[in-house]
A and B are shown apart, each in its own frame.
Chain A
Amino acid sequence: MLTKKVKNRISFLFFIFLSSIIAVFFVLKSLNKNIVYFSSPTEIKQREDIPFKKAMRVGGMVKKGSIVINQKNIQFVVTDFKNEILISYSGTVPNLFAEEKGVVAEGKLRDKNFFIAERILAKHDENYMPPEIKEIIENNAK
C-alpha cells in the first residue's frame, strides 16, 4: 500500500527527474544553436551541402572598392582571393571594419552569391580613433 509519505516522495523525485531532463534537453538544444559554422567564400562556392536559411559565418577580406553604403544597409564583397561573396548588412558597424581588412559576418546565406549578415565581427578597438571623427573634431576646432 502506498502511503501518502511514499507517494509524496515519489512525486518529489519525479519532479526533480523531470526538471533535470528538461534542463539538459534545453542545454543540448542551445548547444546546437550555439555552434555556428564558419566558411570561406571558396567553401561556399564549392561545397554541395552548404546550409541555406541556417545561421553561419563567412570570413575573409573586404574587397577594395566594394563597400557601398545607402540608407538601408551596407553592402560589401568578401574575398579570399579565390572566390567572392556579396554581403548585405544593416546595423552598427565596428570601427575596424574597412576595405582590405579582415571581417567575419554572421547571418544566413541567401544563395551562393549573396549573404545577409545579422552581425559583423570585426574587432572594435577602444584605442582606435576613426578618421572621420577626427576630421569633424579638427574642423570644428578651427
Chain B
Amino acid sequence: MLSNIGIGLVVLVLILSFLTIYAASLDLKTSSQSIQRGIYKLSLYQTTFTILSFFTLIIAFINSDFSLINVYENSHTSKPLFYKIAGTWGNHEGSLLLWINILVIFSYLFLVFNHKHNKKFRLYTLIFQNILILGFLFFLLLNSNPFNSIYPIPREGLGLNPILQDPALAIHPPLLYVGFVGCSIYFSAAMASMVSGYGGKLFAQSIKAWVQISWCFQTLGIIVGSIWAYYELGWGGFWFWDPVENASLLPWFAITALMHSLIVLEKRNTLHAWVIILCLLTFILSVTGTFLVRSGILNSVHTFASDPSRGIYILLFLLFMVFSALIIFFSTYQKEVYKFNLKSRETFILANNWFMIFFLITVLIGMLYPIFLDVLTDIKISVGPPFFNIVIIPLVVPFLFLMAIGPNFSWIKSRNNNAYKILFLILGAVGINLLISNFFGKYSLLSNLIFIAAIFLFLHLFLDIKKFINKKNRFELPRIISHLGFGLLVFFIGINHQFSLEEDFNLKVGEIKKTNSYEINFEDIKITKSKNYKAIIGNFKLTNLKNNVVQYLGPEIRIYSNPETLTYEAAIKTKITSDLYLTMSNVSRSDYYNIKFQNKPFMIWIWISALMITLGGFTRLILKKNEN
C-alpha cells in the first residue's frame, strides 16, 4: 500500500511540474508585473506532495515494510530506530528522492523569497528548475524507484551493515545534498538571467543567500565526512583524495569562487559572464560528481553498488544540461571589458578565483585521467594522494599570502601604500615561525613556507580584529572568521602532518612495548556483548614517559552476527594538545595482536578550524537576514 501511495505522490509531483512549466510559460506573456497567484499555489502543492512522498518512504523504513524492495535491501528489523530512518537516504533510490525534495523545496522558496525581483526572471527560473525536477523525476520513476514493490514479502531485510550504523554517517548525506542540490537553483537562475536579460547587481542579490546556504552546507557536509573517516576507518587519516571525496570537493571550489565573485558583481556590477559561468558550472559539477560516483565508473572506498543503466541516464541528463547551458550562454553572451586596477580588491577576489579554478582543474584531472587513459589505451592506473599533494599544497603558500593582503585593498583603486606593512608583517611571520620550529622541532622547507604564510595571514587578521572592535563593522566579521578558520586549518594540518608519530608492532596479552615517548602495556582483553555484536576489547595502559601521565585505551575487534563480519574500532583519546590513537587487529593463527599506535598533535584543532570556516558562512547568513 505504501508503495502505491509513494508512487502516486511522485506521479502527482510530476504532473504538477508539467503544470507549473505550462502555467509559468503562459504567465510570461501577460503584462502584469506580478506572478499569478495560481503559480504560487501549484508550487506549494508540489512541495507538499514531494515532502509527503519522502515521509512515506521514511514511514516504510520505520515500520520495516519489506514489501518495498528498497526497504528490504537496505534495512533490518533489529536496526535501531535512528538508523532505520537514516537508512531512507543511505541508498541510491532514497537519496534520489531526497535530491528531488531539495530541488522542489528550493524552487518554491526561491519563488517566494524573491518577490522583489523581476517577474520574467523568476518565472524563467521556475521553468528551468522544473525541467531539472522533471529530469530527476523521470530518472526516479523509470530507473531508480524507491517505491518498487516485491512479492512475496520477505520476512527480514538484508541491510545490516554495521559500518554504516554511525551518527556522523547518517547526517553526512543530507548535509552534503543541501550543498550539492542547492546549487541547482542558481543554475536555473543563471539560465533565467541569460534568457530574460535580468543580470548584474540585482541578479547577484537574488542568488546571494542561496549561494551562501549551499556553500555552508557543502562545507559542513565535507567536514562531517572527514570526521567520520577519522573516527571510524581506523587509519587515523581524514582525507584520502578518494574519488567520492573529490567529487564533493569539485563543486565546493566552484561555490567558493562564486561566493567571492558575487561580491564583485554586486559591488561593481562587473564580471557578469564569469558569475553566470560559475553558477552553471557548480551544478554541472555536482551532477558530474554524482555520475562519476554512482555509475560505477570509478572505484572507491564507498561506491554505491553499480548498475550501468543508472550511469547512462545520468550521463545523458548531464549532456542535455551542459549543451543547453552552453547554447543559451553563447547565444546571449555580450562581450564585457574588464578594467581592473591592479591594486584593487577586485583583483584579489579574481586571484581567489584563479586559485579555486586551478585547484578544481587539478582535482578534476586527477579524477578523470585514469578513466580517459583506460578507455583510450587500456592502461589501468590510479592517481593517488601524491599527485594531489604535490600539485596543490605548494600553491597554498601564495594563496594564503594573497588572502592576507587582499581585504586590505579598497575597491576600484587602493590609495594606501601597503608595501611597508606587508614587509613588516612578513618579517614578523618569519620570526614567529623560527620560534615555533625551535619549540617543536625542525621541518621541511615547504612546511616553513606554509607556516610563514599562515602566520602572515594571522597577523593581518589580528589587525583586522582590532579594527573590527574599534569600528564595529559587522560585515567584516564573517570574512575574518572564515579566513582565520582556513589559516588555522592549514597551520594545524601542517603541524599534525610534520609531528605525528606512528608505531606498528605486535603484542601478546600481558606484554609491554616501549617507544621513545610512551610505554604501552597490553594488560588484558575482555569480551562484551552488545545488541548485534560481540566485542573483544583490549585494555591498554599508556604511560607518557615524559610526564608520567597514564591513560587507558580500549580498542575493539567487533564480531557482528548478521551478516557475520569483523570490524576494528580504534580507541581515540582526544585532548587539547593531541590525539592518542590505538588500533588493534588479530594476527592470523597466532596469539599476537598487531597494534598501531599514533600520536597526532592538535587533531581537534583541525576540526575546530574547519568548523570555524563554516561558522563564518553561517554568520554571514544571519547578518544578512537581520539586515533585511
* A-to-B contact residues, CB < 8 Å: 5, 15, 19, 22-23, 26-27, 29-31, 33-35, 67, 69-74, 90-93, 95-99, 126-127, 129-133, 136-137, 140
Cα of A97 to Cα of B588 in the assembled complex, Å = 7
With A23-B361, A69-B590, A71-B511: A137-B506 Cβ-Cβ less than 8 Å: no
**Contact sample, A vs B, 26 pairs, CB 8 Å cutoff:** A15-B354, A23-B361, A23-B365, A27-B366, A30-B384, A33-B386, A67-B589, A67-B590, A69-B506, A69-B587, A70-B506, A71-B506, A72-B505, A90-B504, A92-B504, A92-B596, A93-B588, A95-B588, A98-B589, A129-B566, A130-B589, A133-B557, A133-B566, A133-B586, A136-B536, A137-B559
Whether a CB of chain A sits under 8 angstroms from the CB of B594 is: yes
Distance, CA A22 to CA B585, complexed state (A): 41
For residues 508 through 553 of chain B, which have their beta carbon under 8 Å from a beta carbon of chain A?
Answer: 511, 513, 525, 527, 534, 536
Q: How many residues of B contact A (CB 8 A)?
A: 43
B511 nearest in chain A by CB position: A71
Given A23-B391, A26-B390, A34-B384, A136 contacting B587 (CB threshold 8 A): no
Asked if A132 and B365 make an inter-chain contact with CB atoms under 8 angstroms apart, the answer reads no
B381 at the interface (CB under 8 A from A): yes
Complex contacts, B504 vs chain A, CB 8 Å = 90-92
Given known contacts A93-B594, A127-B564, A71 and B513 CB-to-CB distance under 8 angstroms: yes
B594 / chain A contacts, CB cutoff of 8 Å: 91-93
Which of A27, A29, A99 has a CB less than 8 Å from the CB of B369? A27
Contact of B527 among A98, A129, A140 (CB under 8 A): A140
- Residues 370-402 of chain B, each 1 if its beta carbon lies under 8 Å from chain A, else 0: 000000000001111011001100000000000
Q: Is the CB of B386 within 8 A of A136?
A: no
Q: B591 contacts which chain A residues (CB < 8 A)?
A: 132
Residues facing A in B352-373 (CB within 8 A) are: 354, 358, 361-362, 365-366, 369
Contact in complex: B527, A92 (CB < 8 Å): no
**Chain B residues within 8 Å of A131, by CB:** 589
The 8 closest A-B pairs by CB, nearest first: A30-B387, A140-B527, A90-B504, A91-B504, A69-B592, A126-B565, A26-B391, A92-B585
> In the complex where A74-B587, A95-B566, A97-B588 touch, is A133 in contact with B559 (Cβ < 8 A)?
yes
Total A-B residue contacts, Cβ distance less than 8 Å: 104
A71 to chain B, nearest CB (A): 5
**B565 contacts which chain A residues (CB < 8 A)?**
126-127
Instruction: Return chain B residues, CB-CB under 8 Å to A137.
Output: 527, 534, 536, 559
Report chain B residues within 8 Å CB of A71. Answer: 505-507, 511, 513
Q: Smallest Cβ distance from A139 to chain B, in angstroms? A: 9
The distance from the CB of A28 to the nearest CB of chain B, in whole angstroms, is: 10
**Seed contacts A92-B583, A98-B588; 12 additional CB < 8 Å A-B pairs:** A5-B337, A19-B361, A22-B391, A23-B365, A26-B391, A34-B382, A74-B506, A92-B594, A93-B594, A129-B566, A132-B586, A133-B559
In the bound assembly, the distance between CA atoms of A29 and B381 in angstroms comes to: 12
Q: How far is the CA of A27 from the CA of B370 in the complex (A)?
A: 10
Q: Which residues on the B side are within 8 Å of A130 (C-beta)?
A: 566, 586, 588-589
The residue of chain A having its C-beta at the shortest distance from the C-beta of B565 within the complex is: A126
- The residue of chain B having its C-beta at the shortest distance from the C-beta of A8 within the complex is B338
Q: How far is the CA of A136 from the CA of B526 in the complex (A)?
A: 10
Q: When chains A and B are docked, how far (Å) is the Cα of A38 from the Cα of B623?
A: 60
Nearest CB in chain A to that of B234: its residue = A92
Q: In the complex, A16→B618 CA distance in Å?
A: 34
List, in ascending order, chain B residues with CB within 8 A of A15's CB.
354
B592 / chain A contacts, CB cutoff of 8 Å: 69
Asked if A23 and B362 sit within 8 Å, CB to CB, the answer is yes
A95 to B568, CA, bound (A): 12
Let me know if B563 is at the binding interface, CB within 8 A. yes
Question: When chains A and B are docked, how far (Å) is the Cα of A129 from the Cα of B590?
Answer: 14
Minimum CB–CB distance for B30 against chain A, Å: 44
Closest to A33 in B: B386
Complex: chain B residue closest to A70, CB-CB: B506
Taken together as a complex, chains A and B put the C-alpha atoms of A95 and B588 apart, in Å, by 6
Q: How far is the CA of A56 from the CA of B587 in the complex (A)?
A: 24
Q: Which residue of B lies closest to A5 (CB)?
A: B337
User: Do A126 and B383 touch across chains, with their CB atoms under 8 A apart?
Assistant: no
Residue of A nearest to B564 (CB): A129
A136 close to B525 (CB less than 8 A): yes
Query: Are A126 and B566 neighbours in the complex by a CB distance under 8 Å?
Result: yes
Indicate if the CB atoms of B507 and A93 lie closer than 8 Å.
no
Chain A residue contacts of B358, Cβ below 8 A: 19
Q: A23-B365, A27-B383, A69-B506 are in contact. Are A132 and B590 (CB under 8 A)?
A: yes
Q: Give Cα A31 to B592, complex, Å.
A: 38
Q: A90: shortest Cβ distance to chain B, in Å?
A: 5
Q: Which residues of A sit under 8 angstroms from B382, Cβ to Cβ? A: 34
